[in-house]
Every structure is written in C-alpha cells, then in structure tokens.
Structure 1
Amino acid sequence: MTAQHIGPSESLIPRPQRTPAALRVAIAQVAPHRLGELEQQKDEAIALAAQTGSLGPILQFLESWAVTVEIARFPSLATRLHSAEYTVQTLDKGDPSWRKAMDVVHGLYASARESLDHE
C-alpha cells in the first residue's frame, strides 16, 4: 500500500497543538465517542510518568492521540481506517484480505505520523 499524504484540503478541523487540552477539544469535535478512552489513557500516562520519573509516557500519549486526531479530522481517511479495522477484526489472519487491511491500517498511521513530523 502506498501511503497517502494527508493534506489540509478536506480537514474537518485545524490540526490541534499537541497538548492534552487541545487534543481533548479536537477529539470532542471529530470522535466524541473516544473521549473516555483519551481521558483514561491520559490518567494512566500521568500516573506512569510520576511512578517512573520520566516524561516518556506523557510524550507517548500525546504522540498517539495526535496521530489519532490527524486521521479522524479527515472523514475519508477515518472511513478507510474503520473499514480496514473491521476487516482485520472479522477475517482470519490467513485470508489475503486480512493482510491487505492490515497494510491499510499501518499505511494510514504511518502517513499521519509523517504529516505530523512535517508540520
């Protein structure tokens, strides 16, 4: 699968800053059903950071949710991701369509990370 560059032309919202508050606002706009998941992971990242004395868990949380928002703010990409994730969850790993769906999932996440790296 060729990674599709994510461009600004079809975005529902502007790209948010990588802060917990900005990502929360963005998720509330593009994927409100995921707010609970975001809050739970934020709390876990803060607790782990406090326990380990490292900012790594917080930085990982911010990166993960920035990528999630980057995909969700483009309806066509979010639809492709949901379709591929459904295929992955419903087909046997031996099915060639399962591998193609995994390639789509990985490609979308890689493209989103690349877009964020070039902001």
Structure 2
Amino acid sequence: MSAHAAEPRPGVPPMPERNPKALRAAIAQHAPQLLPDFDEHWKRAIADTFDIGPLPAFMARWWGEYAIARDPELDARMADLHHRAAESTDLAEAKALLEEASEIRHWVRKTEPGE
C-alpha cells in the first residue's frame, strides 16, 4: 500500500481539533452514521464511569474511524478489503487483505488536525 492511499483528497473534510467535543461535532456533520456508536461508546467507557483513563484509547479508535469515514473512497476501500477477506478461501490472501486494512488504520491515526 502506498502512503498516498490514506491521504485526504480535495473535498474530504479536514480532521478536527483532537478532542472529544470537536471529534463528535465532525462526526455529526460529516459521518453521522458513526454517531450512535460513538455516543454509546462514550457513555459506556467515559460518561457512566466518570473515569477519563480510557480517553486516549477512545480517541485513538474514533479518530481513526472518522478519518476513514470522512473520505468516501477510503471508506469504500476499507469495506472492500474486509469483504474480500471475509469471502476469501485462501488464508494467505485473507491475511494480506486484512494486513492492508490494518496498515490503512495505522496510517490514518497519524492524521493531524486540519489535514
């Protein structure tokens, strides 16, 4: 996979400031399909526990989810990789497809606000 596969294209909204409030607002505006899961995870992991210890892991997960979902082409690519891996009868091929999806997830988590 080339690094360019995860770089945003023109028309892809920029990443928000790296905080839960800004991330939630960006999700609500540009990837509302993620909002119910985001809110449920927030409630379960942070709000109901009054514990901010899990906040870095929470932000890492949802930062990556939003970075993918905000880009329709990248989101479709990830869906295709997962679908092809699930349908594959060749273990090596399925593993390669999932490794490519993992590389994309690691790449997008490095995306900075404004990118």
Place the TM-score, normalised by the shorter chain, in its bin. Answer: 0.7 to 0.9
Following superposition, the deviation at residue 49 of structure 1 comes to 5.2
Task: Kindly indicate which of the two structures has a greater share of residues assigned to helix.
Answer: 1
Where does 1:92-111 land on structure 2 (aligned, <5 Å)? 92=89, 94-111=90-107
| 1:11 to 1:65, Cα distance in 2 relative to 1, 3 A | farther
List aligned pairs for 1:56-75, cutoff 5 A: 56-75=53-72
Shifted more, 56-65 versus 2-11: the winner is 2-11
SS across alignment from 1:56: coil
2:111 equivalent to 1:115: yes
Give the corresponding residue for 1:78.
75
CA distance in 2, matches of 1:21, 1:79: 26
Match of 1:20 in 2: 20
Relative contact order higher in (CA < 8 Å, ≥ 6 apart): 2
The alignment covers a number of residue pairs equal to: 114
Which residue number in structure 2 is paired with residue 46 of structure 1?
46
Q: Structure 2: which 5+ residue stretches go unaligned?
A: none
TM-score (norm 1): 0.75
Specify the SS of the correspondent of 1:115.
coil
TM-score by length of 2: 0.77
| Preserved CA contact (<8 Å) 1:12 1:73 | yes
TM-aligned CA distance change 1:8 to 1:80, over 3 Å: closer
Structure 1: state its 5+ residue gaps: none
